[in-house]
Each structure stands twice: as structure tokens, then as C-alpha cells.
Amino acid sequence: MDDIVVTVNGLRRTLDGVPVHTTALDWLRATGLPGSKEGCAEGECGACAVLLATPAADGGTAWTSVNSCLVPVYALSGQEVITAEGLGTPDALHPVQARLAEGGGSQCGYCTPGFVCSMAGEYYRADRGPSDGPGDDGTAPDTEHGANGFDLHALSGNLCRCTGYRPIRDAAYALGMPEADDPLAARRAHGAPAPVPTDVSLGGSRFVRPASLAAALSLLRDEPHARPVAGATDWGVEVNLRGARAPFVLAIDRLDELRTLRIGAESIEIGAALTLSEVERGLAGRVPLLAELLPQFASPLIRNRATIGGNLGTGSPIGDLSPALLALDARVVLASAEGEREVDLAVYYTGYRESVRHRDELIRAVRVPLPQADLTAFHKVAKRRFDDISSVAIAFAIDIRDGLVTGARIGLGGVAATPIRAYDTERMLVGEAWNTATIRAAAAVLGAEGSPLSDHRASAEYRALMLSHALLKLHAAAPRGRETGQPAEVSA
């Protein structure tokens, strides 16, 4: 126990005696660092944000903002964390803190430390740089990036209930680049801490971070109550809001075998423990449907921890990722101590949060076949444009040759107990002309797919209407030339 430590603001702190299900947020506050706050306890407000040293693509370190309320504290064993207190002091403010103070970016102050950490993560982004052609208000032409290269979406997971967003934005856009002697900037040139194998038993619960996938699979086979946990963005909510406890937590988020990304001639294989942010950066637009989806998935604070395997493993019928992967005809690679098997995602789910995965299996990877469809699009229907749960999610992958639909895959979320394929609509489209008449007829069929329910997000009737409208919207947005068979680039 004495060897289990976390480096916080440059100081090593022991986890000796800390209960297994303690969150990083609660532990930080208990150790005298109250800057991080609990606002929602489910990853929506960002008041608990801290910076975590994570591996960068170049072998160095990236300062990554995460929701500390969702991170099991033992998942930080051997890791390096910076809180708002570690960025600056009252007598020597960090540039981010100074800009917020000068611009009146802090009102009641409750959310400010979280904003500071998310803003600092973007401040230290390695490829951030000045933009060309700033607008009159100091922003780049698209209004969501500053002339200093600051991506405003870096703050989309942080809420200010005092509605002080304008001075916060102005502070972000007024930031310069890190100075040459900035220690956190210099830290980026060195590798992030490696994962530390961990085995802790306390108070009737056990937390294990195994050293390898083989060890994890052996534990999963031998421990019937083992609960695999990756980014904990779903499990963490259960722990915080529902008091969920597991006698055996198996941390799999840092297993090298689950963190590969392979792009081949026939398929792309995405490791199950890659975070969604890592998937987005690693694919770099090679899968347009995922490139369209991922910026709409929750917030950066969530995407920096949530994994592709964890999202599929939870089996949520309203998750955004499954509809897109269904449209991409993805397959799930399942691993156990006895070997591997591959399952079509279209038959993976068997019921509400149930699947064909056996208790002793882990999702090792997701395979997306190549080539991809000609026309792809992801439509998210939600009350907010970003950082919201979908009422309905629709993903399209359509092949068109000489004006005819030669292939169609449509994934749906939020309209059944599981994510589903819209098979009736697909069958109606294939072999038909890609024209207005076909689309209108198919849209009526799409509106009847699934068995949507009414809840606080949307009524069943509204969900059905959005399904039919999605196909009409796709056709209207498709480039001219599709109906005549002329090739065209697609940006739906």
C-alpha cells in the first residue's frame, strides 16, 4: 500500500488506506486541494476538471483535461495530475488564471477552477498556433477558434451557471503561447508515466490493474464478480449517483494490447481501450462518418476518458457510437483466456444492455471493413447541439452507382431497446434510383422502424418523425450528380 502513490502538482501523495471506490475528486479534496468542485457528479458540468499527463503521439506528454469525479482514484496509481492549485498561486498566477481574472471571467467562482484546467489543457496543446485572418472580435473566421488557435470546443464540457461565457471566451482568445521557461510546457517533451500494475484489497473490495491482457483475461475467467472498467465515464456515474459498488474492479484502460490502431488495405482495427479523443486523432478523418460523429459525442472531458470498447460494452440504446458503427458494418473482436472470436455488431446486442459477450470475455477491438460507402452522414437529434444525449441518432452509409443505390446500411439509436439496423429501409433503397420519389417512399418506411418510446427527451411520435426527416435531409444535402450517376465528393 505504501508504494501506491500519485504525483499531484509535483508532489508524491500516497493512497494508503483510501477506500477502493473513492473518486479522484473526493480524494483530492480530502488531501487539501478543494479547488476542484462537485457540481453534477456525472461528467456534465466540468467543475471537477483536472489535468492528467497522458501519452502523446510523438512519445511525449499531453496535458489532458478529465472529469476527476468519474476517475477511480486507484486508476491514477503512478500517474501525474495537475489541479488548479498547481497551475499558479495568488502571487504568481498562471497565464490562464491571469487572463480570466483580468477579463472578469470568474463570477461566483464555483466553476472557475474547472474552466482553468480545461483552458490550460488547450493552452498546452502541442499543435495550437496562431490562425490567419482574424475577425474584428479577435476570433478566427469560423468564430469557434481564436486568432491564437484556441479551439473553443475545448471548453464545451464546462458549465458556468452565472452565464459568464463571453468574458471566459475573451480570456481564452487573449492567451498567448507558453513561455520558453514554462515547466508544464517543457514537461511535454518527456514521456508520460507508464501504467503501474496495481492490486489493492480494502474494506471487502479489490482494485486490480493487471500488467497484460493475458493476466486480465485470466482474472476475468477466475473471478466471477470481476467488473471490467476502462474510462469509467459510465461506471463512475453509477458509483456517484446510485451508490454502485463492485467487489472486484478490473482496470483495463491502459492495457497495451487494447490500445492499438491498425489501418490496413481491407479494414481498420481500433483497439477497445483507445479513448474517443485518441480515435479521432489517430484516424485523422480517414473514416468520415466517425469524423462527423465524434465531435458531437458528449464533451472533450468525456471523450478524453471514454473508450470505444467501453461505449459498446455498456450496451446503451441511446449511445451515439453504435449506430455509426452499425452503418459502417463493423465487427467486434471478443477475447477470452481460451482465444478470440469475431462478431458482427448487427447481432452483438441481444436485449436492453445485453449482448452475446460472455462473462469471461473482453472487447479487444472493433474492425471496420474497407472500402467505405460513397455517401455517409450522422444525424444527432438532441436538445443541445453539443454535450447532450441523443433523442434519436441516425447513421447512413449509402453506395450509389450510375444513379442506382447499390448498397445501404442505416444504424439507429434511441428507437428500440438496443441500437438497430434499419433493414426494411435498406431493402427498399437497394436497387432503386437515388431520386426524390425513392427517398420519399423510403423515408416513410424509416419512420416506422424500431419501437420508440416516449420519455422526458422526446415523444415516440417525434422520434418517428425525426427518422423519416433524416433521410429526406440526407438526400437534400447530397451533392448534385448523384441522381445522374456523376461522381461527387460528399460532405453531409
Per-residue pLDDT tens digits for 405-422: 999 999 999 999 999 999
Cα–Cα distances in Å, from 116 out to 94, 109, 311? 9, 11, 28
Contacting residues for 429 by C-beta, under 8 A, at least 6 apart: 398, 405, 408, 438, 442
Contacting residues for 162 by C-beta, under 8 A, at least 6 apart: 107, 108, 111
Nearest to 115 by CA among 188, 59, 175, 61: 175
CA 59/CA 54 separation, integer angstroms: 10
Domains, the chain, ordered by start: 1-194 (3.10.20.30), 197-372 (3.30.465.10), 374-492 (3.30.390.50)
CA 354/CA 363 separation, integer angstroms: 14
Q: What pLDDT does 278 receive?
A: 98
| Average of per-residue pLDDT across 125-137 | 72
- Answer yes or no: is pLDDT of 492 > 80: no
Find how far residue 422's CA is from the centre of its chain. 25
- Answer yes or no: is pLDDT of 134 > 60: no
Q: Give SS3 for 465.
A: helix
What is the side-by-side strand order in the sheet with 61-67?
11-14, 5-8, 80-82, 49-55, 61-67
State the cell numbers at 369. 471493413
Q: What is the pTM of this model?
A: 0.94
Categorize the per-residue pLDDT at 491 as very low, low, confident or very high, splitting at 50, 70 and 90. Answer: very low
| Average of per-residue pLDDT across 342-350 | 98
Asked which of 169-183, 301-315, 379-393 is least confident by mean pLDDT, the reply is 379-393
User: Any idea which residue has 438526400 for its cell?
Assistant: 475
Contacting residues for 159 by C-beta, under 8 A, at least 6 apart: 39, 44, 45, 46, 47, 111
> For 422-477, what is each residue's pLDDT tens digit?
999 999 999 999 999 999 999 999 999 999 989 888 999 999 999 999 999 999 99
| Average of per-residue pLDDT across 75-99 | 97
| Average of per-residue pLDDT across 80-99 | 96
Q: What pLDDT does 384 receive?
A: 83
Complete DSSP assignment for 149-209: --BGGGGTT---TT--HHHHHHHHHT--PPPTT-HHHHHTTSPPPPP--EEEEETTEEEEE
Q: How many CA atoms lie within 13 A of 145 on its CB side?
A: 14
- Answer yes or no: is pLDDT of 276 > 60: yes
Q: What pLDDT does 139 receive?
A: 52
State the cell numbers at 404. 442506382
Q: What pLDDT does 479 receive?
A: 79
State the cell numbers at 194. 507508464
Categorize the per-residue pLDDT at 481 as very low, low, confident or very high, splitting at 50, 70 and 90. Answer: low
CA 64/CA 49 separation, integer angstroms: 10
Q: What pLDDT does 143 receive?
A: 82
Complete DSSP assignment for 274-334: SBHHHHHHHHTTSSHHHHHHGGGSS-HHHHTT-BHHHHHHHT-TT-SHHHHHHHTT-EEEE
Contacting residues for 24 by C-beta, under 8 A, at least 6 apart: 50, 68, 69, 71, 72, 73, 75, 76, 81
% of the chain surpassing 90 pLDDT = 90
Nearest to 252 by CA among 315, 290, 207, 287: 207
Complete DSSP assignment for 26-82: HHHHHTT-TTS--SSSSSSS-TTEEEEEEE-TTSSEEEEEEEGGGSBGGGGTT-EEE
Q: What pLDDT does 138 receive?
A: 52
Categorize the per-residue pLDDT at 163 as very low, low, confident or very high, splitting at 50, 70 and 90. Answer: confident
Please say whether the beta carbons of 175 and 96 come within 8 A: yes
For the chain, give the mean pLDDT. Answer: 93
CA 218/CA 230 separation, integer angstroms: 17
State the cell numbers at 13. 501523495
Contacting residues for 87 by C-beta, under 8 A, at least 6 apart: 94, 96, 97, 116, 117, 120, 184
| Average of per-residue pLDDT across 253-257 | 97
| Residue 367: its H or E element | strand 362-369
Q: Give the chain's largest Cα–Cα span.
A: 71
Q: What pLDDT does 487 receive?
A: 36
